[in-house]
Amino acid sequence: MRKYYYVKKEVNKMIFRKKKKTTESPSPIDTIIVIGNGFDRWQGLNTSYADFQTYYHEHLDEILKRLHIKKHKYISPDGTAEEWSDVELIYGDPFEPGELDNEFWNNFENSLADIDAERLNLFFGKERSDLKDMRRSIRNAKRILTEAFCGWIATISITEEDAGYQFGDNCVFINFNYTDTLRKRFGVDEMREFHIHGEATDKKSIVFGHNRHPQEPETLLAQMGGRFWGLHLVDEILYETDKHCQDNIQILCMFLAMNGVMCEEIKDIYVLGQSMSPVDIEYFDFLMKCSKVPSLYNAEEESGELEAEDELDELDELNQRMQFIIDEIGYHNTANENAANAMERWQQREQAARNEQYSKEFLKMFGKPAKTELDSVKVAPRTEDAKWHISYFGDTDKEWKEIVMKELGCGNYQLYPSIDECISKWKK
């Protein structure tokens, strides 16, 4: 997790902007533009996961040497001697290691959550020395992939050209890419652009991974030893390779607040070249809730739920969480509803504590909030949902995005067969 490193960076940028532009009146922001990988590919950049796969294979030996990691020797059934890295052992089949198939690379981020804990335990064994080897291999796999991914991102070079579009001052940008395409080809002020997963120029800021295991590892598993420690090791690496979307959303909220973005004023949301895949769906759920007319809810029911949660037996909750990890991560790949609910409650409590800490850090870095022009601004409540404008690539992508918008409960949207058509109103 980035903890507060990126928070501080973004806050400092905003403070600098405030000092530099004191004479300017802030423009009302009514448009949010979401930028995805398809946007860079539209601009002719080689940023697909297939490109990352090529880089990985071409530079693997160099990366291993730099990290001082040795390959594992493996004798195939036909007697052929082969060598494989920890990546193939952990994310492939440890009993028959080989090159990761294209499905792994095509779904790279989601694939990081697909670790077969049972096979790893059988392969490495359950003795303490065996589990230490397993831990080392898991750690090494993460180190190798991180080094390869960051190295690949750093190779993406963008020429400065005029793309032929001019976005208005009423726009802010949520950029899922690591590149500075918006600045170099569209003249976008960096203060209006938020790189939600980091920037290529700043290795520490880069985030990649899945969104299927945001809860912290269950330490009791490690204390139980044997195969349970093996489960803990997998539990731990799944947590470390999670994007922690809710933490990133907290930072996004700070960015929007410091740009004076008010939810009630958002009229349009553009999604350009973003697949809206399950790994990023939490971000779109957040934006959807921000840009819809608030629905009424039953406060008495919510209060009842909280009271019921307070009465939960702590030991039973722990047992349910343990069962979730054993079933979901370990050996059955299914978890009963009670176990899943217990894990969700635990994750929500963890996240609430982190959110509070983020808020404290934000206020501390920004200083004691003073009265600003925005404090006196009265914004009328939202009367209609913001409209979504979404580009798609091919029929399959179109069908998927229709499904996503339905699942998110949004009926006010329009799909466009190209980015050019989607943003035609900003063409010079």
Residue 211, SS3? coil
Residue 187 in any domain: the answer is: no
DSSP string of 188-232?
A: --GGGEEETT-BTTBGGG----BSS--SPP-HHHHHH-HHHHHHH
Contact 242, 280 (CB under 8 A): no
In the numeric block, the tokens 């001082």 are attached to: 68
| In-domain check, residue 204 | no
Kind and range of the H or E run holding 98: none
**CA-wise closest residue to 69 among 150, 121, 147, 129:** 147
In a domain, 331, yes or no: no
| Residue 270 backbone zone (phi > 0: left; psi -120 to 50: alpha; other: beta) | beta
3-class DSSP state of 162:
coil
- Domain contains 277: no
pTM (2 decimals)? 0.86
Domains in the chain: how many in total? Answer: 1
Residue type, 379: V
The whole-angstrom distance between residue 274's C-alpha and the CA centroid of its chain comes to: 13
Which residues are CB-contacts of 163 (< 8 A; sequence separation ≥ 6)? 43, 185, 186
- Residue 85's domain comprises 48-155
Tens of pLDDT, residue by residue over 110-135, are 999 999 888 898 899 988 899 999 99
In a domain? residue 276: no
From residue 196, give the alpha-carbon distance in Å to each of 173, 176, 199, 256.
10, 6, 9, 12
Residue 264 near residue 380, CB atoms below 8 Å: yes
| 328 or 146: which leads in pLDDT | 146
Q: Residues 224-272: pLDDT tens digits?
A: 888 888 889 999 999 999 999 988 998 898 888 888 888 889 999 999 9
Residue 376 has pLDDT above 50, yes or no: no
- The string of pLDDT tens digits covering residues 20-57 is 444 454 568 999 999 999 999 999 999 999 999 999 99
Confirm whether 248 is domain-assigned.
Answer: no
In angstroms, the first-to-last Cα distance of the chain is 40
Tokens of 385: 């949902």
- Does residue 426 sit in helix, strand or coil? helix
The answer to whether residue 86 is domain-embedded is yes
